[in-house]
A and B are shown apart, each in its own frame.
Chain A
Amino acid sequence: MQVRDLRIRCTFPDSELVHGVNFTLRRGGTLGIVGESGSGKTLTCAAVLGILPKQVELSHGTVEIFGSNTASFGKQQWVDLRGNVISAVFQDPGSYLNPSIRLGKQINEVLRVKKGLSRKQAKQETLRLLSAVHLRDPELVYDQYAHELSGGMLQRVVIAAAIAPGPKILIADEATTALDVTVQAEVLDLLTELKEREGLSLVIVSHDLAVVAQICDDVLVMRSGEIVEYGPTDEVLQSPSNEYTKLLISEHQRYGLDRIIESERLQVA
């Protein structure tokens, strides 16, 4: 996937929100996008998925996914692209599942529509997917509703639904943000595992540098709709060239847990 000079405008009031974003996601690679809220990372993802809100449009630049430019896509082509080639999971997973339909049925639906499976095959495949995302009891989850599960379990279900049709690219937009730290780590492990096993390419969007640093090959730092830093994760972390990136990293050092533990150890000594 290649994004070139992507600019996103809001038509009313007329203003440009994202000013020329470039990046490349290699096959099997993991790209992290970091930035504070309002920096344009979510809009960039929405543009890539073709789900920009009304009154917001892609005014310039191209998104190329496996060689085809999405600018010329009609409704049907987007429908074919989503799920099969590119999919996404978001923050607050429970809200992304229909509250009135049993969880298993929702994954079932995707499999039947996108892969043309029969009801029976779809059920089997759904159960397989639910255990692939390490839900302890697929049979039970299959018949439950979204309001009956915890956030971490729901994110697993959402991930299972997203990868059901076998996409090549998965965007995780703040997918671990509202989860508590241990669950967050589990979900990140799951994403990494799926990447290896299913050959996914990942885009990890987060405001948390630590999340991105853990699993991404490349990192993109955005601020106010612009890229302020882009490069391999190690380089960016070791020798940031931009002031804002430096600030992000130093704040992490100042407030990070390591620091506190360190200082307590000093006090004890």
Chain B
Amino acid sequence: MATVSIAGAPSRGSLLIHHRARQFAGAIWRLLAAFIPVFLLGSFFTFLLGSISGLNPAPLQLGDGASLSAVHALEQKWGLTRPFFDQYFTWLGHVLSGNLGRSWANNNPVSTLLEGRAIITLSAAGLALLIGIVFGFALGALAARYQNTWVDRLVTILSATISTLPPFIVGVVLIDLFATSLHLLPAAGYVSLGQGFEPWFSHIILPAVALSFDTVADVARQLRIGLVSAKRQHYVTGAVVRGLNGRRVFWVHTLRNAVSPSIAVLGLKFPALLGGAVVTESIFQLSGYGQFATQAAVQGDVPSVQAVLVVAVILVVIFNMVVNVILNALVPSASRGT
């Protein structure tokens, strides 16, 4: 990126603003250029998988003893006899306009079926993400602050340990401890937020904690490394020499440049949180997104499975775009074009 050099131009300030606007537009463009293909590929494979499964709605709707001609008529009705790309683009068009198709199992719109369930999963995954951010950042900052002391080692051991614990084990232990033994929290089930914050929270907290362990550990480790290496940078010495106090140097100068890897990790963890929900939901008997996906897959309800996948792709793509925008804002030098 070259310095803007305009000889004798009257309004360099406005030219700089113009330059910044171009940079910003460029950054947005690069984001879209990366994520639109990701979405298209994701949706394509989603549909392809459903299509090559060779399943059709007949077993679900007509039972096992249906005649060949009845099956054929049904396939015709659902448009399964049309060419693949014809089907794909029709489906993609519907998805983009918010229509996720109808379930083969009960003929209801999949979007209605998913809506209520996605909220449950997003509650658990969102809370897990929040726990990951809060505790991951706290632990990582502590370890970096007390680098090479027992605090640092304790955090390292703790994060290594919890990252090896799979959510379904943690989930079972948490239920045993907080529900069965201590009777502090409900063991399973879900209460919607509409019925009050506390009942909602008490049902969602254990699955969220079970899901969050890996994220806490990874965020803590990334932040520790980021802070430890940022602390050694000259600009930190520079800020100290200019007479800024320790707290300011940490919050304004060190943290800002140290935080990128941990935020990038959050972007990577989000799909894992959605995926982990499948297992966690079955332990905590939450009828969420994952449960819906499993049920649909077992039944051979292809439109529902496709809808689950494509919504997951959209969620992950959007989340990662948000992560990228945050990263670009925090560390502008990282987003400069070549």
Residues of A within 8 A of B (CB): 49, 51, 75-76, 79-84, 87-88, 90, 92, 95-101, 109-110, 113-114, 137, 139-140, 143-150, 158, 161-162, 164-165
Given A95-B234, A97-B235; A79-B257 close (CB under 8 Å): no
Q: How far, in Å, is A143 (CB) from chain B's closest CB? A: 5
A96, A100, A162: the one within 8 Å of B332 (CB): A100
Interface band, chain B: 20 to 34
> Would B333 and A162 count as touching, CB distance under 8 A?
no
On whether A161 and B333 interact (CB within 8 A), knowing A100-B257, A143-B16, the answer reads no
Q: Identify whether the interface residues of B are mostly helix, strand, loop, or mixed.
A: helix
Task: Tell whether, in the assembled complex, residue B235 and residue A98 are in contact, meaning their CB atoms are under 8 Å apart.
Answer: yes
Identify which of B36-44, B56-64, B112-120, B244-252 touches chain A.
B244-252
Within B187-239, the residues touching A (CB, 8 Å) are 233-235, 237-239
Note all chain B residues with C-beta closer than 8 A to A158. 238
- Cβ of B68 within 8 Å of any chain A Cβ, yes or no, is no
| Number of A-B contacts defined by CB within 8 Å | 104
Find the residue from A88, A98, A99, A158 having the highest chain B CB count within 10 A. A98
Q: By the criterion CB–CB under 8 Å, are A96 and B234 in contact?
A: yes
Listed A/B pairs (20) with beta-carbon separation below 8 Å: A76-B245, A80-B243, A81-B243, A82-B242, A87-B241, A95-B234, A95-B235, A98-B235, A100-B330, A109-B248, A110-B242, A110-B244, A113-B245, A140-B12, A146-B333, A149-B3, A158-B238, A162-B241, A162-B242, A165-B242
Verify A82–B333 contact, CB threshold 8 A.
no
| A98/B256 in contact, CB under 8 A | yes
Partner of B3, one of A80, A84, A90, A150: A150
**Is A92 touching B234 in the complex (CB atoms < 8 A)?**
yes
Q: How far is the CB of A198 from chain B (nearest CB, A)?
A: 16
Closest to B147 in A: A54
Which chain A residues lie closer than 8 Å to B244 at the CB level?
A: 79, 83, 109-110, 113
B229 to chain A, nearest CB (A): 13
Q: Which residue of A lies closest to B331 (CB)?
A: A100
Whether B245 and A79, one on each chain, are in contact in the complex, defined by CB atoms closer than 8 angstroms, is yes
Which residue of B20, B238, B252 is within 8 Å of A96 (Cβ)?
A: B238
The residue of chain A having its C-beta at the shortest distance from the C-beta of B148 within the complex is: A54
Q: Which residues from 1 to 56 on chain B have a C-beta closer than 8 Å to any C-beta of chain A? A: 1-4, 12-13, 16, 20
Chain B residues with Cβ under 8 A from A161's Cβ?
238, 242
